[in-house]
Every structure is written in structure tokens, then in C-alpha cells.
Chain A
Amino acid sequence: MPEATSPDSIKPSSFIAKLVSGELGTLLALAAVIIFFAVADPIQNGDRASFVTVRNFRVMMTQTSIVAVAALGMTMIIISGGIDLSAGTALTLSATVLAWFLKNDYPAFAAVAVCLLTGVTCGLINGLLISSLRIVPFIVTLGTMTIFLGIGKLVSNETTIFPSAAQRPDWISNLCSTKPPDMLAGGMPNLPLAVWITLLLAIATTVLLKYSVFGRYIYALGSNESTARLCGLNIPLVKTAVYAVAGLFVGVAGMYQFGLLKMGNPVEGIGLELKIIAAVVIGGGSLNGGRGSILGTLAGAAIMTVIASGCDLLEVRNPYQNIIVGVIIVAAVLLDQVRERRLAA
């Protein structure tokens, strides 16, 4: 039908449609998998059940941090209509650079600063290439993915960089450490620094997306680049800025990874970008741009960790875990499309 005669109002979408759509849907899915394992674990393991323990939740949150913090930046990129396949190797490049600086006895704050700067630079390179060459982000970042891997191997001299315990400051070593096992520390939940930083950055990103001019521009760009141009946005600048900010998050994730592994190994990050993208997609981000949410992304990253952890406890073999996560990714996109079609109808 020609649009001219279509009614002015749309039918209010049903409650269920609202439930399964967007970030609320992802949060419900997260709750569902947690409840599932909380029930299944005691049935399978009896007294040895350990899924619902403070310790396990703390471990899961810590494990989620690396993917989650990088996924914050990826959410911004995906909302802006882009993609970053180089996030995984840029992440380990940052970690490798951090390791190299520590190994060579530079002060910790300098090493961390260079680590973060590495992440920002990687993002900046992506952003500049995408906006100046006008090549699609998929191809540009496919290229830089390999370039960053190569640079990482150069930095590490094709081996693994192990700074000694003395060269590692305690706070970095403890970034992702779940010890000591107390539930509370000074009245606050005893969570490792990485989790706190991630939560803080998540709030900052949410505020940025919602209450800043830059945030509006990111949504506008992803929703319709032509409209953004028509409205006088400086598109190359916005794009470059998005990738650079996302690069900062990649740098932070690199720091976490080093904290967890205590070493710099550039090949460690291969394939990690797909996990990061998956977190955004499960969280309701649309690869067509214009849509995505930080809360959803965090839930998406958590879902993957919970499934991995729960499956380990239930002694489900790793191949099945892969299959389950795959099914969830496809299901998330499917739900997204159902919602889109509802809107379009």
C-alpha cells in the first residue's frame, strides 16, 4: 500500500514483543541462563554444587570484564554503523606493549599510559583509514587486524614477553585477581579492580551516548549517514572519534588481559574480536547501525561467561559450549529481526 493512506498511529506493540526486544530481552535471557544453571548444578553435582557461590560469581564477573570493556567501545562503533575486526589483535598488541615496557624496567604508570595510547592509536588508524579512504570498515579493519598482529609479533620478537613478578606492580597483577576470598572489603562487595573500572566505564559510556552531542551524532550516523550529512555533521571527525574512543577501551582491555595472563603474547587475541562483537549483537546491537545499548552489551558478554562457567560445572564438553553460544547469537539476531519486521509492518 502507498504510505499516504497508512494510518497515523501504529498499534501499540504487545507486552511480549517488548519483553523479547532490546536490552530487556537480553537481561531476561541472562537471568534465564543463571536460573537454569542454579537449578541444574545441584541436580547434577549434589553437594559439590558451586555455581551459586559468591566466589563463582566473582570469577564470572572478572572473566567477563575483558570482553565487556572492549565491547563498550564496540557498541559505540556498531551503533555508528561500523565494525572493528581488529579489536582482538589491537587488544593483545596493547597487552604486549605493556609487557615490553615493564620487562624493560620502565615505570608502571608509563607502561600503562603507553598501553592505553596503543589502543587509542589503533582505533585512530582505523578511524582515519575508514573516513579518508572511504573503504568499508569491515575491509579496513580486516586489514588492520593482521597489521596489528604483525606489529605485536615485532614488539615481542615472535615470542612471549614475561616481566618478572618484581617488574609487575601489585595493582596490575591484582587487576583480575579474585583473591582474597572475603565477600566484603570495607563495606563494599569485594570485586577486583577490573570489574569496578568496567562498571565505571559502562556508566560513563551510557551517559556519553545519551547526554552528549557526540552520542547523538553516533546514533544519527548509524541510523542514516546520508541524513547525518544533510544535517551538516562532520562525518569523518565523528567516525574517527568513535574508533579512537573505542580504541581506548581496547587498551583498557589489553591492560586487563596482561593482568590476567601476566604476560604479553600477541597471538592470544586472535578471534577475541568475534567474542566482543558477539557480546554487542547478543545485547541487541544491530549491525545495520543505529541501535545498541550498553546494558545489553554487558548482559551479552555475561551470558557467554555464564554459559561457559555453567557448562564447565555440568561437565558439558567444550564443543557443546561453542554450539550453545552460536545458537544464542543466531537467536539474538533472529529476535531482533522479528522486532524490526513488527515495526515495519
Chain B
Amino acid sequence: MLRMEGISKRFGATRALHNVELSVERGEVLALIGENGAGKSTLMKVLSGAHHPDSGSMTLDGTSFQPAGPHAARTAGVAMIYQELNLATDLSVEDNIMLGLEKSRLGFLKRREQRKLVSQALETLGHSDLKPTTIVGHLSVGEQQLVEITRAIVMDAQVVVFDEPTSSLPKRDVDRLFQVIERLRSDNRAIVYISHYLEEVRRIADRFAVLRDGETAGTGTIADVSDREIISLMVGRSVEDLFPQVPHQPGETILTIENLHGLKKPAGSSIDLRKGEILGISGLVGAGRTELLRCLFGLDKVQSGEIKVSGVSCKPTPRRQIAAGLGLVSEDRKSEGLAQSLSILDNMVLSRLEPYSRGGWINPKKIVASGRDWMKKLEVKAQGPHQPVEALSGGNQQKVAIARILHQGADVLLLDEPTRGIDVGTKSEIYRLIGEAAADGKAVLFVSSYLPELMAMCDRIAVMANGTIRACRNTSDWTEEDIMSQAITN
């Protein structure tokens, strides 16, 4: 049905895609797997006409397919369902589905004809229960997604691409989505399903294609490969190389949280963390993991509950927590983690200027000297210490953010998705840094949505759902399936 051959695409000096092959047949679900930055989104942007490939060809049903833009691709029968939904929330289901495709005469809508198209499409998906007159803003995220899929059907899309569609869905909606995808498959359409949840991929897909560093790393039938094999394809090295192990020994308890309540989340979380321990926190997006860290650090308001650092109870504010030995790496480097327009140096030392100042005056030379040391220690690649962080790659930016809390001398590291949007090589370096910190007697709270890294790095893993910690066990007592089922049960 769809064939992409020898697709290459460059952005300036960056090779985004190189000679990528991809094909999907009618009545088939192809899982497109790869790490962040592997080129999945770029490839899909080429398919949807948002980017033009530098070389390579695409065919749709045997005829050449060269979309001039997203609209041309849609008309030719390729529909994208993105993670972030593109809906006008104040309009009705029907108006959203027909937006830009309105049936009209002399500028007046032909409501009856539209209604028929919409209900037919909803029926195809097995969801006649969705009323066309409902305002989209009143629907759940899952139902809104359904509206987007219905739109694809009304446009008679033959190839439907799902880009990480379950990342913000509760379990019930995930099941419903999978039923809808089944319907599309039996309706003889071709489906591309992008995800990095291997469990999901196994459930829904027939074949897989793995992208790594902009190249096709492997394709095959999903039933024929193990999870380990897929991960190795994704990261391009054996799992052992990706997760360097630094021996460390958990000691006494340094942080205790008892029945912590935030404004909405966390809703009654208790946990304790020991020196020299890496404690992972898993869960779905929206489970309250980020909020837990933010409450701990005093960035979000604590409603009730107790936080003790080294046995001393505290009312957190960022200033106090820094003084108490906590450090937080934000999940959002761009808008919170780093001051993008400031230099590497300024970002590194901002939370602890004391060593360089006397009576409120700073000695810049001392900062440069110490900053260079830290850059060397963490192998930050940059033109120099004065370069603004916005010019650095994601991986190097993250190293600066981690350097800050190490420089600050934090004993408890709160890491929120520290490897998100980072290339594999840097990820591995960050794992090593985390291991070394633990070996150094620091306590690490490691929030991540990427299960393999938690499984490989953590001493214990806690699973959060709906603002509470569902279970906390030694890593050896967990399986990925156990964790997922704890994360998605209500």
C-alpha cells in the first residue's frame, strides 16, 4: 500500500534521515519504533508532506506520491493522528470533523448530508454512541482522539498514522483506541503506529520497523523478536553497554515523605529514600510524579503531610530545600530547567554563588575556573563556558542542568525525566553520572516514563497512579508488565 524508499533528509549540517525504507500493506499495523531523536517524527513529516525529502521516493497504492504539503497528503489519503490533538474545542463534534470539508450550497451548510457522513464514519469505528452535536471541549481526551480518527475516515484516509497516541490516555480509553485500530485494520486500511512502549506494540502491531540515528536499524515480524532484541536495535549497542553499572550501597534513610498532599496531586504519597540509593518512580503521564518532586522541592504548594530531610521536618521552599541539600533537575529544560539565554557558567552556578562572592560582589575569574572544571568533569561539549545554553544540544543542556545540582552539593537528587530528548550516547553518560552520584552516597529519586532505564538503573522502583504511590519494590521483584498494570489500574 505505502512504500517509502531511500528517503534522505538533511537540515543544514544535521543528517536527519538517511536512506530510510518503510512499507506497510493494507490490513496491517506497522509499529515504528525508535528513541527520541531517531528520526520518527521527521520521517512522518516527510510522509505527511510537511517536509520534502532530499532524495528517495514514495508510492501510494503503486502510484507515485509526492505531496506538496500537508493538505495534499491528506487529500491523497494519508492522515496523521498526533499526540497533541488539533481540535477547535468550542465547536461540536460534527463541526470539527467537517472543518474545511463542509458540504454547502451557496454558503449554507447542508447539515443533513454532513450528519450522514459523520454518523457513517462513527459507525465504521464502532462508536455510534458519540453524539455529533456535543461540544468537543466537553469530551474526554480519549473521545477527542476519536473525533480526530473519525475525521480521517470522513476524508477516506487509506493510511492512518498514530503518533504515540496512548501517552495521555487512561486504560479504558487505551482499550477503546485499540478496538478502533482493529476496526481500521479489518476495514483494510494501512496503519502506522508510533510508540516506544514495547508492550503496546506487541499488543497491536503485526510488523515493526526500528529507526536509529535517522537510519532503518531493522524490520521484521513482531512475534519473531524479543524485547531485548528490539531495545538493542533501538540503541545500537547491547543493553549492558547502554546502562553502565556503578556499584553502590544504600545506607541510612535521608528523605522521608509521609502522606504528602499537594493541591491536586500528589494525593497522599509516602515513601522513603536512602543515601546511596537510586529509587525510580514510574507511572503514566499525569500520575503525579512531577508534582511529587515539585512539592518536595517547594515549587508546588504542600497541602498536608510531612517531608523530613535527615530526620528534620521541613516546610519546603526552593531556597530552604537547596540549603537542606536537595537539588531538582526539571523535566522541562526549556521553560524551567535552564535560563536559555544565559551562559553555561551562569546556569551552573546560579543556585550557589557563595563560593565566588564576598559582600555581594562576585569574582568572575573564580566562576570561570570552577565552571571549566565542571564542564570537563561532565564532558559538556561547547565552544566555551560563556556560550549561551540555547546553542547547545539537548544532551549537553541536560549535563549543565545536572552539573548545577552537583555543583550545589546536593545530597538528594530529584531527577525528572533526565534523559528525555537526549541522544543515546549522552543518555549512557547520564546513567553513569547517576550511578557515580549514588556510589558517592547521594540519594537519587529518578522519575522516568522509559521503563527499560528504570529497570536497569534503579535499586527500587515505585509506581504512581492518580497521585498516590501504588507499590514500591526492589527492582528485581518487578517485571515491566507488573509495572504497567500497576500504572494503568484505577
Contacts and interface: CB of A to CB of B under 8 A. Distances in A.
Asked whether A and B interact, the reply is: yes
Interface string B306-350: 000000000001110111000010100001111111100011001
B474 interface: no
Nearest to B11: A1
Interface in A230-247: 230-234
A45 to B, nearest CB: 46
B360 A214 contact: yes
Nearest to A226: B336
A230 B364 CA distance: 22
Contact of B36 (A4, A7, A10): A4
Contacts of B39: 2, 5
Given A4-B393, A4-B394, A8-B393, A229 B362 contact: no
Nearest to B342: A223
B364 to A, nearest CB: 7
Contacts of A220: 339, 342, 346, 350
Given A5-B37, A214-B360, A224-B338, A230 B393 contact: no
Nearest to B333: A3
Contact of A4 (B13, B353, B423): B423
B421 A3 contact: yes
Nearest to A286: B341
Interface stretch (B130-138, B220-228, B257-265, B383-391): B383-391
Interface string A269-298: 000000000000000000000110000000
B406 interface: no
A216 B360 contact: no
Contacts of A199: none
A214 B339 CA distance: 16
Contacts of A214: 360
A12 to B, nearest CB: 8
A223 B334 CA distance: 11
Interface string B1-40: 0000000000101111000000000000000000111010
Contacts of A212: 360-362
Contact of A5 (B322, B390, B423): B423
A253 to B, nearest CB: 25
Nearest to A214: B360
Interface string B124-164: 00000000000000000000000000000000000000000
Interface residues of B, number: 57
Given A4-B422, A4-B423, A228-B350, A211 B340 contact: no
A88 to B, nearest CB: 29
A175 B325 CA distance: 53
A62 to B, nearest CB: 32
B280 interface: no
A232 B322 contact: yes
Contact of A227 (B35, B41, B336): B336
A227 B42 contact: no
Contact of B335 (A211, A219, A226): A226
A224 B336 contact: yes
B13 A7 contact: yes
A160 B361 CA distance: 44
Given A4-B393, A343-B388, A10 B383 contact: yes
B335 to A, nearest CB: 6
Given A4-B393, A8-B381, A224 B335 contact: yes
Contacts of B338: 224, 227
Nearest to A290: B341
Nearest to B427: A4
A159 B63 CA distance: 84
A5 B213 contact: yes
B392 interface: yes
- Interface majority SS (helix, strand, loop, mixed), chain A: helix
A223 B344 CA distance: 13
B361 A3 contact: no
A212 B337 CA distance: 23
A216 B11 CA distance: 36
A230 B41 contact: no
B351 interface: yes
Interface string A122-143: 0000000000000000000000
A4 B395 CA distance: 7
Contacts of B13: 7
A213 interface: yes
B213 A230 contact: no
A8 B318 contact: no
A2 B36 CA distance: 7
A4 B394 CA distance: 5
B214 interface: yes
Contact of A228 (B339, B382, B388, B393): B339
A211 to B, nearest CB: 5
A6 interface: yes
Interface in A1-43: 1-10
Contact of B346 (A3, A219, A343): A219
Contacts of B11: 1
A233 B351 CA distance: 8
Given A5-B423, A8-B393, A290-B341, A216 B362 contact: yes
A1 B318 CA distance: 34
Given A213-B360, A216-B350, 17 more contacts: A1-B42, A3-B394, A4-B394, A4-B395, A6-B14, A8-B392, A8-B393, A9-B382, A10-B383, A211-B364, A212-B360, A212-B361, A223-B339, A224-B338, A231-B322, A231-B404, A344-B390
Interface of A: 1-10, 210-216, 219-220, 223-224, 226-234, 290-291, 343-344
21 contacts: A1-B11, A1-B16, A2-B37, A2-B39, A2-B421, A3-B37, A3-B394, A4-B36, A4-B422, A5-B15, A8-B382, A213-B361, A214-B360, A216-B350, A220-B342, A224-B338, A226-B335, A228-B339, A229-B318, A232-B322, A290-B342
